[in-house]
Structure 1
Amino acid sequence: MRIPKRNYTIATKLKVLALLETSTDQQVSDMLSIPRRTIRTWVNQKRDILAYNGNKKRMKVDPGGRPEEFPDPEGLVDYINQMRAQERALTTSHIINWIKRHQAAWLRSYIARKKPGYQGLLRLLQRFCHRHGFTRQRPGKQKHKQSVLIEVRDDFAAEFHRQYHGFGPDCVYNVDETGFYYDMPPKYIWSARGGDAKISTGEKHSMRMTAVLTVRSNGDKLPILFIIRGTPGGRIETSELPTYPSGHFYAVQGKAWMDNTVWKSYLRDLLHRSLVEPSVILLDNFESHVSDASYRIVEEELGSFLCAIPPNATSICQPLDVGVMAPFKRYLRDEWLTEEMIDGEDGDDFDTPTAAEKRKAMVKRAIAAWDRVTATEIRNSFVKALPSIEE
């Protein structure tokens, strides 16, 4: 019968090496009941064993498991530590930007063989950070009961089909806004395990922009209205907007949010041009959307009908939220991964592009992502959000 192989901890190996300073290997073998052959092997590994500074309960000096997939782990760990030493808000997007700059060929190869590329890369980096002693935190969210939302959706869908049954798929619109960032929003940052999470001033927010998306239930997409943070009538509006891609619409607002002024402009300048006959405009209960002025413009100037979605039910009743926003955001991330790096003035790892360069890159990224949203995705979103009685 074969004798089972014995395993020894690093602590035991260190003890043996210490005893060998004053005893022979045979004496140590007799004292601890460890074969002389094993002790001689440890003597040959003495330098590595003495240099080990990890958990002494481990059996091996070299960790097992998969080999490191990322080509430059030391460089990335050094970058992460330097960022945190400067109290910078280190998000996964910063790590990806570092990879795009220093390991672009590896990144392209990784994305090409992984589907979906972004999610695979995200998981790889999360494992990498945990493996090298970094942790992350993120807030939790509370949700409504799904059974209640389904009941609200079914009641709303039945009333919608009853009231607007005469409108064809090319006459039912859904519009909604979504914010997006130049980098991933820093809801959590990477930091050394046990260290603090302080960040320096100016590192709390990535540049934000709002995209107003509009779809028809037949699968058509309307141009995007971009709401950009700035002073109306200021330099951005007069100098930058004319350089942005044509075919879409742009507005400047103090906080890059939708307000009454921007909403009126959207109705009159963008939506009105797309209406060929009386239509139904489906939207949420945002204040600007359901104001008296909004109803008046839609009914009197556009000759159409405004239909508000029940409060707190957009996640299940609004087509854009049900089946379009998720792929759009996914395509945004994919475009961000593959776009060329924009270097700042210094061109180093800790430098950032100018605000004007960021704004233009965000616009181009969103347009490319919007182009990837398919008519099938849009039609399916209307079917899910507004199921008919017959179905």
Structure 2
Amino acid sequence: MDETSFIPKTARRKVVAVRDSANVWRKETKSSFHMTVAGAVSAAGPEVPPITIVPGVRLFMKDIADLTIERAAITGPPKGFSNSKILPQWLVFFGDNIAHLPKPVVLIVDNSATHISEEAAQICVEYGIMLVGLPATATRLFQPLDVALFKPFKDGYC
């Protein structure tokens, strides 16, 4: 399981100025939206849809309807980043999606502080999930989602 943030590419910057003038303006479109996606992959084959994390406490029905990934979930913490309250939500979502698989299921996560909580541990026990944290110094070596999925997408669209 891993999460990553996406910020859309901004338009190219344009500089507007009269030649030899001290008054120069830079026209630049600022991105005002970002989102985080948390997902998991399985070596055994079963697919688990991602959860999209967008900024905002209230989510609009239009935003939820625009989510075109089948069975995916959406949530909205105030700042739009993963936090310690998101992981328990995601674990329940994950557990519901793997209910048909034999237990225990091993889930490998990085050593982020947001992945450690008593509530998350209880949910893992309830769903038969063995949560394995990678050592803090080794996560850059074991990031299959970042290398194979998130980076190519970011290179093309973000």
Q: TM-score range by the shorter chain?
A: 0.7 to 0.9
Secondary structure of 2:41 counterpart:
strand
Q: Structure 1 residue 262: deviation in Å?
A: 2.1
Aligned pair in 2 of structure 1 residues 323, 220: CA closer, same or farther (>3 Å)? farther
Cα deviation, 1:9-58, whole Å, max 9, x if unaligned, reads xxxxxxxxxxxxxxxxxxxxxxxxxxxxxxxxxxxxxxxxxxxxxxxxxx
User: 240, 244, 248: which one pairs with 2:63?
Assistant: 240
One-letter amino acid of the counterpart of residue 309, structure 1: L
One-letter amino acid of the counterpart of residue 240, structure 1: D
Secondary structure of 1:256 counterpart:
coil
For structure 2, list consecutive stretches of 5 or more residues without a partner in the other structure. Answer: 17-21
User: 182, 190, 193: which one pairs with 2:8?
Assistant: 182
Decide whether the 8 Å contact of 2:111 with 2:134 is kept in 1: yes
User: 77, 82, 93: which one pairs with 1:269?
Assistant: 93
Cα distance in 1 between the residues matched to 2:147 and 2:79: 27
Decide whether the 8 Å contact of 1:210 with 1:228 is kept in 2: yes
Cα distance in 1 between the residues matched to 2:23 and 2:72: 44
Q: TM-score, normalised by structure 2?
A: 0.75
1:303 aligns with 2:124: no
Could you tell me which residue of structure 1 aligns to residue 19 of structure 2?
Answer: none
Could you tell me which residue of structure 1 aligns to residue 53 of structure 2?
Answer: 227
Cα distance in 1 between the residues matched to 2:135 and 2:146: 14
One-letter amino acid of the counterpart of residue 250, structure 1: I
Decide whether the 8 Å contact of 2:107 with 2:130 is kept in 1: yes
Q: Which has the higher helix share?
A: 1
Q: Which has more radius of gyration?
A: 1
Q: TM-score, normalised by structure 1?
A: 0.34
Aligned pair in 2 of structure 1 residues 303, 243: CA closer, same or farther (>3 Å)? same
Aligned pair in 2 of structure 1 residues 252, 189: CA closer, same or farther (>3 Å)? same
Cα distance in 2 between the residues matched to 1:326 and 1:216: 18
Cα distance in 2 between the residues matched to 1:189 and 1:264: 41
Task: Report the aligned-residue RMSD.
Answer: 3.2
Q: Which has the higher strand share?
A: 2
Q: Structure 1 residue 301: deviation in Å?
A: 1.2
Matches within 5 A, 1:1-391: 175-184=1-10, 203-231=29-57, 234=58, 236-245=59-68, 246-275=70-99, 276-277=101-102, 278-298=104-124, 300-330=125-155, 332-333=156-157
Secondary structure of 1:207 counterpart:
coil
Aligned pair in 2 of structure 1 residues 196, 179: CA closer, same or farther (>3 Å)? farther
Aligned pair in 2 of structure 1 residues 219, 189: CA closer, same or farther (>3 Å)? farther
Cα deviation, 1:283-325, whole Å, max 9, x if unaligned, reads 1112221223222211x21112110011143221232234333
Aligned pair in 2 of structure 1 residues 313, 196: CA closer, same or farther (>3 Å)? farther
Secondary structure of 1:281 counterpart:
strand
One-letter amino acid of the counterpart of residue 244, structure 1: L
Aligned length: 150
Cα distance in 2 between the residues matched to 1:196 and 1:287: 48
User: Percentage identity across aligned positions?
Assistant: 24
Cα distance in 1 between the residues matched to 2:6 and 2:122: 30
Q: Structure 1 residue 268: deviation in Å?
A: 0.6
